[in-house]
Amino acid sequence: MDPLDELLELIRANSHGAASLVLFALVKTLSAQQGQYLFLLNKLKDLNAEQRQLAYRLMEVMAGGGNTTPEWQVKVAAMEEAIRRG
């Protein structure tokens, strides 16, 4: 499954859960267009092994330039809406 879709599913299932919010913060950081990716890596300790694997897959998407696509922006907007709605 696409990591953005997987995260969106996780957020929709528990929009205010720790994993949802930590991974969403990572995605927002990876969305930065200025190339300044500021994310406290120690936050990864708050995730279980499966959730960390999702975080690593999201970073791989960014490394491949996937964070600059319209699809990325649409999915991040959907995540923001899901969190806002709670």
Mean pLDDT computed over every residue of the chain: 92
Whether the predicted pLDDT of 2 surpasses 90:
yes
Write out the two tokens for 58: 């999201």
Evaluated on CA atoms 62, 10, 18, 16, the torsion sign reads positive
Q: What is the pLDDT of residue 37?
A: 65
DSSP at 1:
-
pTM, whole model, 2 decimals? 0.88
pLDDT band of residue 33 (cuts 50, 70, 90) is confident
Average pLDDT for 46-55: 96
Cα 86 to Cα 14: distance, rounded to the nearest angstrom? 8
> What is the 3 state secondary structure string of 35-71?
CCCCCCHHHHHHCCHHHHHHHHHHHHHHHCCHHHCHH
Q: What is the pLDDT of residue 75?
A: 98
